Amino acid sequence: MERRLPAADEAGGRRTKRGKVELRRIEDRTSRQVRFSKRRSGMFKKAYELSVLCDAEIALVVFSPAGRLYEFASSTSSIDKIFGRYWDLMHTTIDLNIEARDYRVDCNIQLRQKEHSVLDDPVPKINHITQCVLESNVNELNIAELRGLEEAMTNALTVVKNKLMMKVAGVLPQSEKKSCWISEPDQE
């Protein structure tokens, strides 16, 4: 495994130069597949190392040009969970008594979501889905799909109404206001 000096005959320039590559799509299918495989491994390793060394939460989703899926999530989480955190951060209006900053602050970090899945706080997602539905995508569904959707939504709505009634009636406890936790002003 030790280094050798460059072979003397390399000066002749006959061998293709190793190493450096242009940053553009590799046209040759075989080369592209090989490179994809190797670089994919490398990147997943990097992701793993970063997550361990720096205690970062990482979700990595890769689709090969052939459509195959490769995924990574830092050990303490899942793709769904991390993407859910991302989703919340991007789609939830944050109403804090704290001045806005020039970077995004994740207010969900301390929300103790251990047992929760990506869709645990359904409000922003439902709102978004509602918007999608209100727009045009349902046009793409066939009758069977629409029936399924109708049924699912009806059931869900019934549950929501029941919960609401119970809360209003005082049967269920009011949920306390979510608290927000701002991390130390680290510079990264």
Task: Give the integer Cα–Cα distance in Å for 139 and 145.
Answer: 11
Burial group, residue 74, by CB count within 10 angstroms (0-12, 13-18, 19+): buried
Q: Which of residues 130-159 bind its own copies (CB under 8 A)?
A: 130, 132-134, 137-143, 145-150, 152-157, 159
| 49-68 residues near its own copies, rule: CB under 8 A | 49-50, 52-68
Q: Does residue 136 interact with DNA by CB under 7 A?
A: no
Rule CB under 7 A: is residue 35 a binding residue for DNA? yes
CB of 21 to its own copies, least distance (A): 7
If one asks whether residue 96 binds its own copies (CB under 8 A), the answer comes out as no
Residue 102 has what DSSP assignment? S
Per residue in 89-111, is it b (16+ CB within 10 Å) or e — as a string? eeeeeeeeeeeeeeeebbbbeeb
Helix pair angle (122-134, 79-91), 10° resolution: 70
Q: How far apart are CA 172 and CA 163, in angstroms?
A: 8
Stretch that binds its own copies, among 8-16, 92-100, 115-123 (CB under 8 A): 115-123
Q: Choose, by CB under 7 A, the member of 41, 110, 131, 183 that binds DNA.
A: 41
Task: Give the binding site for DNA (CB under 7 A).
Answer: 1, 3-7, 10, 15-21, 31, 34-35, 37-39, 41-43, 45-46, 49
